[in-house]
Structure 1
Amino acid sequence: MAKHLQELKKLMDVMIHSQNDDHFHALGIEAVSIEQDRMTMKVEYKESLVGNPDTGVIHGGVITSLLDTTCGFAAATALGHLGLTPTIDLRIDYMRPAEPHKTIYAVAEVYRNTKTVIFTKGIAHQGDPEKPIAHAIGNFVNMGAETFEGFRQVILEKYDELESGHE
């Protein structure tokens, strides 16, 4: 795995494990895989995420957050350095409701990377990408490496702190 992808994985670990009151914890978002220009994440089914108690269907906002996060991290893989990619625009097309009691996966990929904008597309599904719950198109800010001077060191130090606390 390329160095910037290894460091991005560490950033994700810091974001997922360092704050117990953020959306990663509230929703249970987890990274599944990370590759150049591609990211897969998931959310396990839990009652607290249900939008309609009569049907047990997960709230659409959970799927939107999962797709935004997955597309954003896919965009970050395209930077070539450790950094963040703020969302410019995100469109979600819901195809069908998620089935209760099943994990939701999001897969996103970069399809164009310009000097200022990274373009992504993604889907949410429950095990079969041919039966998507939703499609996403997301545009993210492509920020230069100079924007993140010092950021890398802070993240790597925080990651080391988290790792030493897990031993």
Structure 2
Amino acid sequence: MNNTDEWQGKLQNISRLAQFNTWLDLEVVSATEGEVTLGMRWKKEMGQYNGFLHAGIQGALIDTACGFAAATLSGNVLASQFTVRCLRPAVGQSFRVVARVLKPGRQQIFTTAELYATDGGEEKLVATGDTLLVPVQT
């Protein structure tokens, strides 16, 4: 599959299968082979005790975006390991995560992601992360 619109539609349909992604109201903004951008609007239920985006949600966004980026190259994948680095408080009305495949493989796929928050029209990098994914047969 080469068409960006086809990947975007396919991944959006896959995302809707996960109730968690539906609760997040996750949107597949763009998708090409090896790269995916997801978007999400802020909900107060996603906040931690100071009102910032919870680190668990940040991790979920990074994990999901990396998994989708890997899926564009190898089909179904599962995360074997992922890391999140929170760089600053994640405050914003919306969030955007960009993930790309660093190295695809038959047994392991290495990916990286950057999470941005948009607050008052200004976008800031708030977290980075990476995942190690494994292709799976369903």
- TM-score past 0.5 threshold: yes
- Asked if structure 2 preserves the Cα contact closer than 8 Å seen for 1:92 and 1:136, the reply is yes
CA drift at 1:15 = 3.1
Moved over 2 A (4+): 3-6, 8-19
Larger Rg: 1
Which secondary structure state, in structure 2, belongs to the residue aligned with residue 58 of structure 1? coil
Identity in percent = 24
Between structures 1 and 2, the one with greater strand share: 2
What is the CA RMSD across the aligned residues, in angstroms? Answer: 2.3
1:87–1:99 Cα change, 3 Å: same
2:55 aligns to what? Answer: 60
Unaligned residue ranges in structure 2 (runs of 5+) = none
TM-score normalised by length of structure 1: 0.71
Which secondary structure state, in structure 2, belongs to the residue aligned with residue 99 of structure 1? coil
Of 68, 73, 82 in structure 1, the residue corresponding to residue 68 of structure 2 is 73
* One-letter identity of the residue aligned with 1:121: T
| Equivalent residues in 2 for 1:58-137, closer than 5 Å | 58-79=53-74, 83-100=75-92, 102-127=93-118, 131-137=124-130
- Asked if structure 2 preserves the Cα contact closer than 8 Å seen for 1:5 and 1:36, the reply is no
Number of matched pairs: 135
Unaligned residue ranges in structure 1 (runs of 5+) = 149-167
TM-score normalised by length of structure 2: 0.85
- Asked if structure 1 preserves the Cα contact closer than 8 Å seen for 2:65 and 2:97, the reply is yes
Cα distance in structure 2, aligned partners of 1:3 and 1:108 = 18
